[in-house]
C-alpha cells in the first residue's frame, strides 16, 4: 500500500481536517507529536516499537533527547544516595536503512522488523455543515486521525511486547472514562486512545518506554510520558487501532468571537476519541478507497508523492470555526506565517476544495466579501488576509499589507481582486450554484468596474496602484521574488491573470446572465486589450519579458499561469489555439518553449523548474499550476520535461524539516520561505482535472 | 515604599489571585512575562525603558537573547541583498548596581534613572463567590494586575520616549476594542493595555523596541513584539497605569469539568482589562493600605521580604474554578509539581487563607470530603492531592500515592487525615462557623475513630500503615527528607501532630458540642497517651530522637510543629507550661533548646535553620511555622536566633531562579525541590497571628 519513498527522513503534517491540528512526524532522530493551533514540529518523543522475548527492544527513531516535564529527581532529595527508580530498557533504534516508509493520499506507513505503523488522516470529502446531517458531520468534522499498529509475531516462539506512546501527556484516559478508553491525554487538549482489550495496558512513568518493557509498575500520574503496552502471543499477529484526537473549548479567536466547529458536535476530547474508535472500520475503508484511486491513476510515483504530501500539509492548516450566530467560518492558515485565509492562496487552493469541499470555497468568498473587501479610490478591492494566529483583523484590513512600500508587505489590492473574481468564477462554474451567482453578480460587476478603473490607459493591464499604498506600489503574491514577479504594475504574470479574469467574467455572464450585454462586452474588450498588449511585448528572442518597463529581460514561467482559470471553469475554447484567443495562446506557448531551458527557467544544477530566470527562489505550488497548464493546455507532452523526481526530492531532502514547503531554492530544494504550507495542493490539478475541459484541443 | 533588597536578581511570581496565572520577572538578563496554567518562568522579553532626547535609550535588563516567532527574514528572500528593515536602536541595559528593587506585600517596584516601574498584584481579602455581590466579585476575582510606570522628565529639557512592551504578543488591542484600549495580546489568552491617551501609541514590529525609539512606523501585525510608546514632554512627570490580564475560556479541566470562575464574570480578555483600568484608583489604594500595614509592623525587614515574596508565589498558584453546576471549586496548585490541592500544603496554607479568604478553607474541606476521602481497612482517610496540571484524578485517588513503597510517592493516609482534621479545627475555631461544624462533626468523629484504629497499641501514635500501601509504609509530607522526617510510623513529628489533632478535637467538641462526652473523652485519652509516649522518648542528651526505632538519633526541629494548631485555634492553655500538658510542652521546649545548635539544627556554614540534623534539605515554609511556635509558644525570644537574614538570602540568592522555593540546601539556600511554591505563606503567622491566643502564657 502506498508509495515507498527512498529518502525517508522528512516531516509530514498529518492534519485533522478543520481542526488546525496535526500529528507531525517523520524526521529521524527528531521529535514528533500532536500540535494544535500551529504547524511547527514539536520536540517530543513518539514511542513506537516492541520487544520480542528477552531481546533488546526496537523503537522507531522518533525520540529526541529532550526531556518533557519534571523527572523523578525533582521529587526526591538530589543529595540522597542515588537509587535507580527504574532500570533502563537499553533499547535500540531501528537504523534508518532498515525502515520502509510509504506515503498514500490518506496517510503513510512505516515498516520495520515485525512492526507496521500506519497513519490515516485524510478521508476525502467533507460535507457542508449548513445542510449535512449531524451524524455525517460528526464523522467528517471529527478532530481525529487513526494509527494502525500491526505486530507480526506469527513466526516467533516468544511473546512480544508492543508499545505506542508519547511524551507530554499528563493523564491516563481510563481515569476520566472509567476504563472505556485506554490511552493518555495532555489536559483537555489532545490525546490518544484505543478501546479496552485485555492484552493492552496503560503505562505512565518517568521513562514510560523503560517501564513498559520492564514489567509491572503502577501508573505514575506525575510523569509526562504515557505508553500503551500491547501483549502479542507467540504465533499471533496483532493489529491495534488507536485514535489520536484534539479538542479546544470556548472562544478561541479574537476580533470575531468563534469556537471550533467540532465543539458544537462533541463535548470533549474523550467523546471525540470514543466516537472515532467506534467508526474505525468505516473510516479506514473510506481512506482505502481514496488510496486505491490515486494508486490506480496514471500519475508518476513522484507526482503521487507530491500530491499526498501536499494534502496532508493542507489539512493541517484548515480550521473550521463557528460564530456566535452559529455560522460556519472556514479558514486555511498560512503555514509558518499563520495568516488566516490569505486570498492569494485561496484562489490556488480552490482547485482542491472544489473537489473535496466546494462549500468551503463559497464560505471563503462570502466571508471575504463581508470581512475583507474595501473601497479605495478606484472601487472595490480585497485584502491580502483576514488575520494571523487566530486573531481576526478589523473589517477591511489585513495583517500583511502596509503603506509606503514597493516590495514585500505592500498592498496586493489588484491581484486580490482578481483572485476573488477567479475564485468566484471557479466556484460557480464547477458547482453550477446559480443562486450564489445571482446573489453575488453585482459584486462581480463591481470588481469588473474596479479592475477597469485601474487600467487607466485601456491596454487591459493595471496601471494605477491603490491609494492605500500611500505612494508605494502594489505587489503580487510572488512577494519574496525579485521584481520579475514581485511588482504588480506592468507585470506579465499579472497581465495574463487579468486577461483570465476578464474572459472568465465574460464567459460566466454569457452563460448565466446572457442579457447582461454591457458587462459581457466590457469584459470582452478589456480581455482583448490585455491579450493584444501582452502579445505586443513579445521579443524577437521568442519570449515576453517579465516586466514591461525598465528594459527588464527576466524570463518567467507564470506568464502562462492565468490560462488555468478559463480551462478549469470549462471554457477550453478560450485557451485553445483554435479559439478566439488562439494567437495569444500560441504566443504564450512560444514563450514557454523559449524560457523552459536549462539556465533560464530550468535550474542548471538540479534541472528543476525555476519560476523566474533571475531568481533562485522557486515556488512548488505555482510550478504545479504551471505544469498543468503546460501539459494540458499548451500541449507540452514530454513527461521528461516535468522533472517530478527533482521536485519530490526537493521536499523529501532539501526541505525535509518543513513538510510541504512552497518557496525553495532551485538548486537543491532547500527551504527559503513558506514552510509547512497548505498551497501545494494545486497538485490536485494533475489528479482530478486531467481532461476536465472536454473540448480541449490537445 | 516597600522594602529595598540588596540582592535584586531573583524571580518573583506576581500571581493573579484565582487565575493560576502570573507575571514572572526579576532575573537580570533573563526572560519575563505572563504565564497561564503553570508557574515556570517564561523566556520572553519584557521591555521597560526610555530614551531622553537623542541619547542612547536605557532599558531594564529583562530581555533574553531569545527570539519569539518569525523574523522579517522569514518573509523576504534570504538570498536577496540585505536591506536593513529597521535601524537598530543601540540601547543599553541599566547596570544591575544602578537599579533599586523593593518588594511590598502588594507587589514590587524597580527604579532606574528617570524611571519607576511598579507591579501591584495582591489586594488582600477575596470575597466568597457564593454570597458576595457580583460587582465586588468582578473586582476581587478579576484576573488582572497593575503596572504603574513613572517617567520623571521634570528636570530635563528634551522630550522623553518611554516604552512598555512584551515579546510573544500577536495583536494590537485597539483592533478589537475600536481604540478604547491601547495595548497588545497573545490570542485570547493574555495581554496588557492602558486607556487611550494622546501621548501613547501602539508599536508592533519585528524589533518593537527599535521601532518605538526610531520614529513612526505603521503597526506590523505579523510581528510578535508589542510596545506602548509614551511621549513625555520636557518638564513633565508622567505616570501611566497599565493593566495586565489573562483569560481562559471553556472547560479547562478533565476528570471534573470546570471553567475558570472569572469566565462567569467577564466575557473576554478585553473586558477584564477594561474593567481593571476603570478600577485602577480604588485597587491601588487598597494595595497601598495593605502595604502600609506590613511596613508599620514590627517584623524585621527580612521577615517582611519573606512574607511578601511568599504571598506573590502563593497567589500565582491559586485557581478558582466553577463547576457545571455553578459551584466554586478552589485549587492551590503545587508550584513546579502542579499537583492540585495537596492536602499537606492545605493545612499550612490555611493560616494564610483564614486571614484573606476563609471561605476557601471551607471549600477545600468540603471538596476533600466529596472528592478525596476514602475508606481503607481502618476507616476514613484522605488522599494526598486531587490531580495534576488541571487534570482531576478519579474520586478517592491522588496522582502522587503509589503502593509497594516506603519512601517518596508512598501513601500519606494518616498524616492527610490529621491534616483534614486540623484544617477543620482551624476553620471552625477561627470563623465560628457552627453550621459547618454541625454538618460535618460526624466526619470529624469518623476521623477520630480512624486515627485511633491506626494506634493499635494505644500509645497515642500511629502503628499501622494503610492497606493501600500494599506492604509498603506510609510517609509524611517531608517526603524527600531522610527517614528522620520521611517515615510516618513511630515518627516524632507526626506523633506531636497526632497529639495536636487529638487535643484540638477534644477542645472543639468541648466548645461546640459539650454533650459529646464520648468523643471528648476518647480524644483526650489518646492525646494523653501520645504526650506520655513522646515524653518517654526523651534522651538524657536532652532531645527526643526523630524516629522511635532502629536506634535513630536524628534531631529534628518539627518536633514542635504540632503545637501551632491548638494555639492558633485559640486554646493556648493546651500549649502552655501551666496547662494540662505543661510537662509535655516543657519537654518539647527542652528538645528545641538542645537541637537548635550549630552543627545540629543550625547549619554550621550558613547558620540557617536545618529541619533535621541528618539532612541538608531544609524547608522554608516549615521553618516559618516552627519559628512561630518557638517564639510565640515556647518563649524563644532572642531575635538573633531566627536568622531572618540568612533565610531571606537563601531565596534572593541561592534559589533566585525559582521565586519562593521551599526545599533548599541549608548551606547556601540553593534549590533542592518544591520550586515556585505556594506554601511559604506560613510566614503569615508572624504578621497576622502574633499574640492571637490571648491567654498565651508568654
> Mind listing the pLDDT tens digit for each residue in A12-22?
999 999 999 99
Residue B320 has pLDDT above 90, yes or no: yes
Going by C-alpha positions, the residue among A259, A264, A241 that lies closest to residue A141 is: A264
Query: How many DSSP H helices and E strands does chain A contain?
Result: 18, 28
B74 chain-A contacts, CB cut-off 8 A = 336-337, 673
Residue B694: its pLDDT value, please? 42
Alpha carbon of A530: minimum distance to chain B alpha carbons (Å):
30
3-state helix/strand/coil string of B325-385: CCCEEEEEECHHHCEECCHHHHHHHHHHHHHHCHHHHHHHHHHHHHHHEEEECCEEEECCC
Mean pLDDT of A493-506: 98
A390 chain-B contacts, CB cut-off 8 A = 187-188
Which member of B78, B170, B389 has the closest CB to residue A187? B389
Q: Phi and psi for B25 in degrees, rounded to 5?
A: -160, 165
Nearest Cα residue in chain B from A169: B389
β-bridge mates for residue B228, sequence order: B164, B202
Q: Which residues contact B417 (CB under 8 A, 6 or more apart)?
A: B380, B381, B382, B447, B450, B451
Residue B1 has pLDDT above 60, yes or no: no
Q: Concatenate the DSSP letters of all residues of B239-260 into one string.
A: EEEEEEEE---S---BSS-EEE
Question: What's the whole-number average pLDDT of chain B?
Answer: 95
What is the pLDDT confidence band of residue B486, given thresholds at 50, 70 and 90?
A: confident
The tens digit of pLDDT for each residue in A146-198 reads 999 999 999 999 999 999 999 999 999 999 999 999 999 999 999 999 999 99
B81: burial class by Cβ within 10 Å (0-12, 13-18, 19+)? Answer: exposed
Going by C-alpha positions, the residue among B291, B308, B262 that lies closest to residue B139 is: B262
Residue B433: its pLDDT value, please? 97
Least confident of A72-86, A502-516, B683-697: A72-86
Alpha carbon of B254: minimum distance to chain A alpha carbons (Å):
6
CB atoms B388 and A171 under 8 Å = yes
Mean pLDDT of A240-256: 98
A178: left (phi over 0), alpha (psi -120 to 50) or beta: left
DSSP 8-state assignment for residue A531: H
β-bridge mates for residue A328, sequence order: A322
Least confident of A38-52, B86-100, B242-256: B86-100
In whole angstroms, give the CA distance from residue A376 to residue A51.
67
Domain topology for A297-688: Glycosyltransferase (1.50.10)
CB atoms B77 and A185 under 8 Å = no
In whole angstroms, give the CA distance from residue B144 to residue B34.
11
Task: Identify whether the C-beta of residue B476 lies closer than 8 Å to the C-beta of residue B487.
Answer: yes
Residue A1 has pLDDT above 60, yes or no: no
Alpha carbon of A646: minimum distance to chain B alpha carbons (Å):
21
Residue A17: its pLDDT value, please? 98
- State the Rg of chain B over Cα: 27
Which member of A176, A339, A673 has the closest CB to residue B255? A176
β-bridge mates for residue B239, sequence order: B150
What is the pLDDT confidence band of residue A91, given thresholds at 50, 70 and 90?
A: confident
Residue B695: its pLDDT value, please? 38
In whole angstroms, give the CA distance from residue B539 to residue B554.
12
> What architecture (CATH level 2) is domain B3-72+88-290?
Distorted Sandwich (2.70)
A248 chain-B contacts, CB cut-off 8 A = 250
Mean pLDDT of B679-691: 94
Which member of A74, A221, A673 has the closest CB to residue B74? A673
Residue B215: its pLDDT value, please? 73
In whole angstroms, give the CA distance from residue A358 to residue A348.
13
- Determine the angle formed by the axes of helices B492-512 and B413-431, rounding to 10 degrees: 40
CB atoms A255 and B388 under 8 Å = no
Residue B308: its pLDDT value, please? 98
Mean pLDDT of A131-152: 97
CB atoms B250 and A254 under 8 Å = no
Q: Residue B458 has which C-alpha cell?
A: 494505644
CB atoms A251 and B253 under 8 Å = no
What is the pLDDT confidence band of residue A298, given thresholds at 50, 70 and 90?
A: very high
Alpha carbon of B395: minimum distance to chain A alpha carbons (Å):
10
Residue B285: its pLDDT value, please? 98
Which member of A175, A390, A391 has the closest CB to residue B394? A175
Least confident of A520-534, A551-565, B60-74, B371-385: B60-74
CATH of B333-688, one of 3.60.15.10, 2.40.50.140, 1.50.10.10, 3.30.70.1350: 1.50.10.10
Least confident of A618-627, B62-71, B308-317: B62-71
Alpha carbon of A188: minimum distance to chain B alpha carbons (Å):
6
B188 chain-A contacts, CB cut-off 8 A = 251-254, 390
CB atoms B336 and A70 under 8 Å = yes
Residue A696 has pLDDT above 50, yes or no: no
Residue B91: its pLDDT value, please? 87
Express as a percent the part of chain A with pLDDT over 90. 90
CB atoms B74 and A336 under 8 Å = yes
Which member of B175, B255, B393 has the closest CB to residue A255? B175
Alpha carbon of B285: minimum distance to chain A alpha carbons (Å):
32
CB atoms B402 and A253 under 8 Å = no
Q: Given the DSSP bridges, would you call strands B171-172 and B182-186 parallel, antiparallel or unpaired?
A: antiparallel
Alpha carbon of A395: minimum distance to chain B alpha carbons (Å):
10
Residue B250 has pLDDT above 80, yes or no: yes
CB atoms B171 and A76 under 8 Å = no
Alpha carbon of A282: minimum distance to chain B alpha carbons (Å):
29
Residue A62 has pLDDT above 80, yes or no: yes
CB atoms A254 and B268 under 8 Å = yes
Check residues B635 and B1 and name the one with the higher pLDDT.
B635
Mean pLDDT of B435-449: 98
Going by C-alpha positions, the residue among B449, B121, B168 that lies closest to residue B290 is: B121
Least confident of A450-459, A470-479, A517-526, B513-522: A470-479
Task: Identify whether the C-beta of residue A457 lies closer than 8 Å to the C-beta of residue A468.
Answer: no
Which member of B249, B336, B402 has the closest CB to residue A218? B402
CB atoms A249 and B253 under 8 Å = no
B404 chain-A contacts, CB cut-off 8 A = 218
Q: Residue B667 has which C-alpha cell?
A: 548551606
What is the pLDDT confidence band of residue B171, given thresholds at 50, 70 and 90?
A: very high
Q: How many CA atoms lie within 13 A of A362 on its CB side?
A: 22
CB atoms A176 and B77 under 8 Å = no
Residue B697 has pLDDT above 50, yes or no: no
CB atoms A250 and B253 under 8 Å = no
In whole angstroms, give the CA distance from residue B396 to residue B375.
9
What is the pLDDT confidence band of residue A11, given thresholds at 50, 70 and 90?
A: very high
Residue B89 has pLDDT above 80, yes or no: no
Residue B85: its pLDDT value, please? 57
A481 chain-B contacts, CB cut-off 8 A = 77
In whole angstroms, give the CA distance from residue A368 to residue A191.
34
Sheet holding A21-25, edge to edge: A12-16, A21-25, A33-36
CB atoms A268 and B257 under 8 Å = yes
Residue A698: its pLDDT value, please? 30
Predicted ipTM beyond 0.90: yes
H or E stretch covering B16: strand B12-16
Least confident of A486-490, B57-61, B200-204: A486-490
Exposed e or buried b per residue across A375-412, where buried means at least 16 C-beta atoms within 10 angstroms of its C-beta = ebebbbbbbbbbbbbbbbbeeebbbbbbeebbbbbbbb
DSSP 8-state assignment for residue B629: I
Alpha carbon of B10: minimum distance to chain A alpha carbons (Å):
20
Question: What's the whole-number average pLDDT of chain A?
Answer: 95
Q: Best residue in B85, B338, B372, B391 to probe A by mutation, most A CBs within 10 Å?
A: B391
B190 chain-A contacts, CB cut-off 8 A = none
CA distances (Å), origin B206, targets A453, B188, B650: 36, 21, 39
Q: Which residues contact B481 (CB under 8 A, 6 or more apart)?
A: A77, B611, B612, B615, B617, B619
Residue B217 has pLDDT above 90, yes or no: no
B6: burial class by Cβ within 10 Å (0-12, 13-18, 19+)? Answer: exposed
The reply to whether B3-72+88-290 and B333-688 are identical in fold is no
Residue B5 has pLDDT above 90, yes or no: no
CB atoms B79 and A408 under 8 Å = no
In whole angstroms, give the CA distance from residue A353 to residue A330.
11
B617 chain-A contacts, CB cut-off 8 A = 77, 79
Handedness of CA B599, B603, B609, B614 (dihedral sign): negative
A80 chain-B contacts, CB cut-off 8 A = 480, 482
Mean pLDDT of B528-536: 98
Which member of B249, B387, B616 has the closest CB to residue A250? B249
Domain spans in chain A, listed from the N-terminal domain onward: 45-71+87-290, 297-688
Task: Identify whether the C-beta of residue B302 lies closer than 8 Å to the C-beta of residue B645.
Answer: yes
In whole angstroms, give the CA distance from residue B158 to residue B153.
8
Residue B67: its pLDDT value, please? 73
CB atoms A221 and B388 under 8 Å = yes
Sheet holding B46-52, edge to edge: B92-93, B58-59, B46-52, B160-167, B225-232, B200-204
Residue A694: its pLDDT value, please? 42
Nearest Cα residue in chain A from B40: A69
The tens digit of pLDDT for each residue in B323-341 reads 999 999 999 999 999 999 9
B399 chain-A contacts, CB cut-off 8 A = 221-222
Check residues A72 and A103 and name the one with the higher pLDDT.
A103
Residue A80: its pLDDT value, please? 61
Q: Given the DSSP bridges, would you call strands B318-323 and B258-260 parallel, antiparallel or unpaired?
A: antiparallel
In whole angstroms, give the CA distance from residue B223 to residue B379.
60
Alpha carbon of A172: minimum distance to chain B alpha carbons (Å):
9
> What architecture (CATH level 2) is domain A45-71+87-290?
Distorted Sandwich (2.70)
Mean pLDDT of A433-446: 98
Size of interface A-B (CB pairs under 8 A): 172
B77 chain-A contacts, CB cut-off 8 A = 480-482, 615, 617, 672-673
Check residues A598 and A83 and name the one with the higher pLDDT.
A598
Amino acid at each position: 500500500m502506498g508509495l515507498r519513498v527512498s529518502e525517508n527522513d522528512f516531516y509530514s503534517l498529518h492534519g485533522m481536517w478543520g481542526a488546525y491540528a496535526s500529528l507531525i512526524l517523520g524526521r529521524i532522530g527528531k521529535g514528533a507529536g500532536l500540535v494544535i493551533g500551529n504547524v511547527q514540529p514539536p520536540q517530543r518523543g513518539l514511542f513506537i516499537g516492541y520487544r520480542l522475548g528477552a531481546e533488546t527492544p526496537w523503537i522507531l527513531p522518533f525520540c529526541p533527547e529532550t526531556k518533557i516535564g519534571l523527572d523523578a529527581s525533582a521529587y526526591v532529595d538530589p543529595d540522597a544516595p542515588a537509587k535507580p527508580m527504574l532500570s533502563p530498557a537499553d533499547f535500540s533504534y531501528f537504523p534508518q536503512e532498515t525502515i520502509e516508509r510509504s506515503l498514500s493520499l490518506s496517510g503513510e506507513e512505516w515498516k520495520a522488523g515485525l512492526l507496521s505503523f500506519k497513519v490515516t488522516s485524510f478521508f476525502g470529502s467533507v460535507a457542508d455543515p449548513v445542510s449535512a446531517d449531524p451524524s455525517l458531520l460528526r464523522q467528517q468534522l471529527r478532530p481525529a486521525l487513526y494509527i494502525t499498529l500491526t505486530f507480526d509475531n506469527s513466526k516467533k516462539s516468544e511473546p512480544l511486547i508492543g508499545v505506542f506512546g508519547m511524551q507530554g501527556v499528563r493523564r491516563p484516559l481510563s481515569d476520566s472514562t472509567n476504563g472505556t478508553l485506554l490511552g493518555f491525554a495532555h489536559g483537555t487538549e489532545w490525546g490518544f486512545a484505543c478501546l479496552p482489550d485485555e492484552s493492552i495496558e496503560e503505562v505512565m512513568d518517568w521513562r514510560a518506554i523503560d517501564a513498559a518493557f520492564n514489567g509491572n509498575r503502577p501508573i505514575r500520574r506525575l510523569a509526562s510520558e504515557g505508553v500503551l503496552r500491547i501483549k502479542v502471543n507467540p504465533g499471533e499477529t496483532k493489529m491495534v487501532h488507536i485514535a489520536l484526537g484534539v479538542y479546544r473549548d470556548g472562544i478561541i479567536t479574537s476580533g470575531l468571537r468563534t469556537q471550533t466547529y467540532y465543539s458544537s458536535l462533541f463535548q470533549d476530547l474523550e467523546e471525540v476519541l470514543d466516537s472515532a474508535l467506534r467508526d474505525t472500520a468505516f473510516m479506514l475503508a473510506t481512506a482505502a478507497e481514496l488510496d486505491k484511486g490515486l494508486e490506480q491513476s496514471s500519475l508518476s510515483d513522484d507526482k503521487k508523492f507530491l500530491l499526498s504530501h501536499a494534502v496532508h500539509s493542507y489539512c493541517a492548516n484548515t480550521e473550521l470555526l463557528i460564530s456566535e450566530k452559529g455560522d460556519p467560518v472556514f479558514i486555511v492558515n498560512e503555514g509558518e506565517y499563520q495568516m488566516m485565509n490569505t486570498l492569494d492562496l485561496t484562489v490556488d487552493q480552490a482547485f482542491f476544495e472544489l473537489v473535496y469541499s466546494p462549500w468551503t470555497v463559497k464560505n471563503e468568498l462570502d466571508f471575504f466579501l463581508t470581512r475583507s473587501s474595501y473601497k479605495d479610490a478606484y472601487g472595490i478591492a480585497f485584502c491580502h488576509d483576514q488575520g494571523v494566529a487566530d486573531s481576526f483583523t478589523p473589517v477591511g484590513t489585513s495583517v500583511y499589507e502596509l503603506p509606503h512600500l514597493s516590495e514585500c508587505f505592500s498592498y496586493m489590492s489588484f491581484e486580490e481582486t482578481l483572485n476573488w473574481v477567479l475564485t468566484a468564477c471557479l466556484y460557480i462554474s464547477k458547482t453550477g450554484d446559480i443562486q450564489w451567482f445571482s446573489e453575488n453578480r453585482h459584486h462581480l460587476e463591481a470588481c469588473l468596474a474596479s479592475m477597469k478603473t485601474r487600467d487607466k490607459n485601456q491596454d487591459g493591464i493595471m496601471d494605477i496602484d491603490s491609494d492605500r499604498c500611500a505612494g508605494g506600489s502594489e505587489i503580487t503574491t510572488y512577494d519574496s521574488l525579485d521584481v520579475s514577479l514581485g511588482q504588480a504594475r506592468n507585470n506579465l504574470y499579472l497581465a495574463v491573470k487579468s486577461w483570465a479574469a476578464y474572459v472568465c467574467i465574460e464567459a460566466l455572464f454569457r452563460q448565466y446572465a446572457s442579457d447582461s450585454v454591457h458587462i459581457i462586452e466590457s469584459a470582452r474588450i478589456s480581455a482583448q486589450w490585455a491579450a493584444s498588449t501582452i502579445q505586443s511585448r513579445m521579443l524577437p528572442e521568442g519570449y515576453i519579458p517579465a516586466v514591461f518597463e525598465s528594459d527588464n529581460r527576466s524570463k518567467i514561467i507564470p506568464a502562462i499561469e492565468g490560462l488555468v482559470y478559463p480551462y478549469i471553469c470549462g471554457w477550453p475554447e478560450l485557451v485553445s489555439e483554435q479559439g478566439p484567443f488562439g494567437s495569444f495562446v500560441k504566443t504564450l506557448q512560444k514563450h514557454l518553449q523559449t524560457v523552459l531551458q536549462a539556465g533560464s527557467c530550468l535550474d542548471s544544477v538540479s534541472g528543476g523548474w525555476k519560476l523566474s530566470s533571475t531568481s533562485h527562489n522557486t515556488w512548488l505550488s505555482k510550478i504545479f499550476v504551471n505544469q498543468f497548464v503546460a501539459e494540458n493546455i499548451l500541449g507540452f507532452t514530454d513527461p521528461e520535461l516535468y522533472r517530478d523526481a527533482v521536485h519530490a526530492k526537493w521536499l523529501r531532502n532539501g526541505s525535509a524539516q518543513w513538510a510541504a514547503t512552497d518557496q525553495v531554492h532551485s538548486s537543491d530544494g532547500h527551504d527559503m520561505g513558506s514552510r509547512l504550507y497548505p498551497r501545494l495542493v494545486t497538485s490536485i490539478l494533475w489528479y482530478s482535472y486531467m481532461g476536465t475541459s472536454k473540448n480541449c484541443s490537445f
